[in-house]
Amino acid sequence: GDSVTQMEGPVTLSEEAFLTINCTYTATGYPSLFWYVQYPGEGLQLLLKATKADDKGSNKGFEATYRKETTSFHLEKGSVQVSDSAVYFCALSVLGSGGGADGLTFGKGTHLIIQP
Amino acid sequence: SQTIHQWPATLVQPVGSPLSLECTVEGTSNPNLYWYRQAAGRGLQLLFYSVGIGQISSEVPQNLSASRPQDRQFILSSKKLLLSDSGFYLCAWSPRTGTGSPLHFGNGTRLTVT
């Protein structure tokens, strides 16, 4: 079946450091890929997405590139802030294979802590 | 614009008591609706999804049930809660346009079963 693997953390960085959160996936079809962010006590918010190979999603200084050859969708940010502290989820949706109306398949989430 | 409302925000219930969590979506028609559970230290588990009124699909066997009495209303229920039902419950919706559409989540309900 489809699956998403990501580092669970916690990942602790200093403010202004460079961030990479790795995400790899297994899917039988051609997935769309997503990153969500969850702040403490809140629901998940869509951070960015990519729907085909080599697409780059970006938002709020975060970027991720859909790499079909390595089945990866790593999240990056050049300079993190304390306000970026949250849990980040990688997810995929595959047409006719558990995605779409069946919901997204999520990784277990990566807890990011940014220290001032 | 579309909005999703989920309530209550927090709930403490004794073992064996009933449960009803409600979710409504505004600003869209015929959405796909979902219930997820997030247990402490774990990822998201899809519990139920619905593509229309009265149409419910269950992903895992459990002590919970879901209903969709109206197009934009999704209810999660239990007749008798178990300790293992504690967790963070999230409702979500997506447009009925196939793959590539993201899910949009509510703010969640923190359920503690004592």
- Tokens, residue B19: 């449960």
Residue B12 has pLDDT above 90, yes or no: yes
Assess contact for A89 and A33: CB atoms under 8 A. Answer: no
Question: Looking at per-residue confidence, does B62 or B84 come out higher?
Answer: B84
Average pLDDT, chain B: 91
Lowest mean pLDDT, pick from A51-55, B30-34, B69-73, B99-103: B99-103
pLDDT at A100: 44
Q: Give A-chain residues touching B106 at CB under 8 angstroms.
A: 43
Cα diameter, chain A: 45
Residue A29 has pLDDT above 90, yes or no: no
B67 Cβ under 8 Å from any chain A Cβ: no
**Residue spans of beta strands (DSSP E) within chain B:** 3-7, 10-13, 19-26, 32-38, 44-52, 55-58, 65-70, 73-78, 87-94, 104-105, 109-113
- Residue B98, pLDDT score: 60
Residue of A86, A85, A61, A94 lying closest to A75 (CA atoms): A61
Q: What is the pLDDT of residue B95?
A: 86
The band of B110, judged by pLDDT with boundaries at 50, 70 and 90, is very high
pLDDT digits (tens, 9 = 90+) for A89-112: 999 986 554 444 567 889 999 999
Q: Average pLDDT for residues A2-8, to the nearest whole number?
A: 90
Residue A86 has pLDDT above 90, yes or no: yes
Give the pLDDT confidence score for residue A102 in this predicted structure.
Answer: 63
**Average pLDDT, integer, range B86-113:** 88
Closest CA to A110 of A21, A15, A3, A20: A21
Closest-CA residue of chain B to A51: B100
User: What is the reported pLDDT for B59?
Assistant: 79
Q: With an 8 Å Cβ cutoff, is B105 touching chain A?
A: yes
Cis status, amide bond into A10, omega within 30 of 0: yes
Question: Residue for token digits 């969850």?
Answer: A38
Nearest chain B residue to A49, by CA? B102
CB contact under 8 A, B103 and A49: no
Quote the mean pLDDT of chain A. Answer: 90
